[in-house]
Structure 1
Amino acid sequence: MGRWAIALHGGAGVDPNLPLQRQEEAKQLLTRCLNLAISALRSNHSAIDVVELVVRELETDPLFNSGRGSALSEKGTVEMEASIMDGPKRRYGAVSGLTTVKNPVSLARLVMEKSPHSYLAFSGAEEFARQQGVELMENEYFITQDNVGMLKLAKEANAILFDYRIPTTGLECCAAEADNPLMMNGLPINVYAPETVGCVVVDKEGRCAAATSTGGLMNKMSGRIGDSPIIGSGTYACKLCAVSCTGEGEAILRGTLARDVAAVMEYKGLGLQEAVNFVIKERLDDGGKAGLIAVSNKGEVAYGFNTNGMFRGCAAEDGFMEVGIWE
């Protein structure tokens, strides 16, 4: 029997001006999800079951950018995406462009287990969801007034806004300075704080699993797909480890961050934390910003980020437990 371990995240790239009350709300949600996972692992639930359980909880709470509370596209709608991967056989399922599915991560698992494919998107994914009888909601369920306000600001600034939880009255101090604006693919970023959610677990049997879910970017183009549902970029699990990423999706895609953690462990012989550090330092080009969480089949847990902070929590069977935001 091995040792279980878990890590979860609520996004990397936290604005330093985030109010203390919002920080505390985030920590409480992360702690609740950690305790939920710990209880499940102690009851001998499998890694794949636990990552789905945790991400469902994060999708249902509107605090982070996934499921209910997802960032809005330029059309004012949600286009959610998620993926899940079972490490022992490297099976995975992914979905994109969802507008009615309450828990995208669960539909991703159904794609993995109940379809002949690995990835379904937009109308095809929605049709599969109806066939499978998953819980569907009207688009309004996912939309919060905070997000409506942030989308309005994003359109006025002709920018992509990341953190819908920054108070709108404080945007002036959070915005990129005109002399040195933050850019992503040539567009100004007013607030850098993506809030994808993810979870990685190794259970007592040494089985690793990972899941990631997101609403994407505020004011994103309709049809944009980020790193979260792309296996090897935003999510990856194998016999050795499991990884979930968050941050600037386009940079994570270019760097294939999640797979590279496993690759440098396998081919360079690095330990888990060494591998995470290497990937964050060496694989994010052009100033890309990101963070990731990881577990190994030995019951180790690790994380890394090159942003101001990352909403995160982790725990291990030996009693270690941590919930944090900053370095």
Structure 2
Amino acid sequence: MAGWAIAVHGGAGVDPNLPAERQEQAKQLLTRVLNLGIDALRSSGSAIDVVELVVRELESDPFFNSGRGSALTENGTVEMEASIMDGVGRRCGAVSGLTTVKNPVSLARLVMDKSPHSYLAFSGAEKFAKQMGVEMVDNDYFITQDNVEMLKLAKEADSIVFDYRIPTVGYETCGTGVESPFQMNGLPISIYAPETVGCVVVDSQGRCAAATSTGGLLNKRMGRIGDSPLIGAGTYACDICAVSCTGEGEAIIRGTLAREVGAVMEYKGLGLQDAVDFVIKERLDDGKAGLIAVSKTGEVSYGFNCVGMFRGCATQNGFMEVGIWD
């Protein structure tokens, strides 16, 4: 057994002009949650427990787009989604359309552990949350003034906007050139920079797990569901690897991105990093995204085809890295 490994992300697609202070805040948060996961793994925590623990912490901090600090819908409300998957037996749980559940990833875990289903959404998910006694808060808890102001700008521009730190003029930040605005499903949108959060872990027993959580797109239509809660798209874990994705949800869904990493390892015999590189290059078409992954043998990997990805990773042999850029 090669030992444990962990990776976290705070989203792919970063404005290259992101102020140094914000970059430092992001790195501090990633380092803090990474160390939280490392401590749990050193204490023999299981992969599934560690991914839930880390993503809960990310949901509770308003810096990234999940839980508190989630992007606002066209109605100025929050609709959150999350999923979790245990590579042992490929058990999974997912939730969408949450408006009052403080930690969506933990409700996803309860769907996996305490319900006969894999996926619950909207009023049904909220009802299940009440039955399970999870912590509930008013929708206002999730809303930040930054996102209120950005929604106003998005409505003025009649556009979906991914992130309040991204300027709405000039398209060079998403790598597509000023002449060709970025598109989603063929429709023009503003600068690409979603900030989903996620965590993947292989524990000292070789068990893999993954969890992903997000508020989705700013100014998204009510009822829009992205890749994060979709098993095989935004999240996947099996007996050989675990993957969490971030980026343009519609492209990740079309490419079944997370499952593809495991599939090319299984059927093409690729190693983890080669599998990640192949999937980023061959399965996104024109979409922009990134992902983090671990293998059962203790490897850790990441890849992205956009300007940057907020990420951190560590292994049992002492390797640790926190970064944003390529």
- With the shorter chain as reference, the TM-score category is over 0.9
Q: Which runs of 5+ in 2 are unaligned?
A: none
Cα distance in structure 2, aligned partners of 1:178 and 1:196: 25
The 8 Å contact of residues 198 and 211 in structure 1, kept in 2 or not, is answered as: yes
Equivalent residue number for residue 19 of structure 1: 19
The CA distance in 2 between the partners of 1:237 and 1:33, in whole Å, is: 20
Q: Report Cα offsets for 1:157-192 as digits up to 9, x if no partner.
A: 1111111234xxx54356888742111123322221
- Tell me the equivalent position of 1:114: 114
What residue in structure 2 maps to residue 219 of structure 1?
219
Q: What is the distance in 2 between the residues matched to 1:178 and 1:283?
A: 25
Conserved in 1, the CA contact under 8 Å of 2:171 and 2:181?
A: no
AA of the residue aligned to 2:204: K
Counterpart in the other structure of 2:138: 138
Name the residue aligned to 1:191: 191
Q: Which runs of 4+ in 1 moved over 4 A?
A: 173-178
Gaps of 5+ in 1: none
* Cα distance between partner residues in 1 of 2:210 and 2:158: 35
Question: Does the Cα contact within 8 Å between 1:84 and 1:210 map onto a contact in 2?
Answer: yes
Are residues 1:274 and 2:271 paired?
A: no
CA positional deviation for 1:2: 4.1
Look up the equivalent residue of 2:14 and give its one-letter code.
Answer: V
- Residue aligning to 2:235: 235
- TM-superposed deviation, 1:37: 0.5
- Corresponding residue for 2:292? 293
**What pairs up with 1:1-327 in 2 under 5 angstroms?**
1-166=1-166, 170-173=167-170, 179-285=179-285, 287-327=286-326
Give 3-state SS (helix, strand or coil) of 1:314's partner: strand
* Percent identical: 79
8 Å CA contact 1:160, 1:219 repeated in 2: yes
Partner amino acid, structure 1, of 2:315: A
Write out per-residue CA displacement over residues 196-226 of structure 1, whole angstroms, 9 at most, x where no aligned residue.
0000000000000000000000000000000
Q: Is this contact kept in 1: 2:151–2:218, CA < 8 A?
A: yes
Task: Give the conservation status (yes or no) of the 8 Å contact 2:65–2:215.
Answer: yes
With structure 1 as the length reference, what TM-score do the two structures score? 0.96
In structure 1, distance between residues paired with 2:172 and 2:316: 42
Calculate the aligned-residue CA RMSD, in Å. 1.3
Residues matched between the structures, number: 323
2:75 & 2:110 partners in 1: Cα distance?
A: 28
- In 2, Cα distance between equivalents of 1:111 and 1:292: 24
Contact persistence 2:171–2:178 (CA under 8 A): no
- 1:140 & 1:178 partners in 2: Cα distance? 37
Deviations along 1:208-254, whole A, 9 cap, x unmatched? 00000000000000000000000000000000000000000000000
Q: Distance in 2 between matches of 1:42 and 1:179?
A: 50
Question: Which amino acid in the other structure matches residue 125 of structure 1?
Answer: A
In 1, Cα distance between equivalents of 2:318 and 2:179: 48
One-letter amino acid of the counterpart of residue 289, structure 2: A
Relative to structure 1, is the Cα distance of residues 268 and 178 closer, same or farther in structure 2, using a 3 angstrom cutoff? Answer: closer
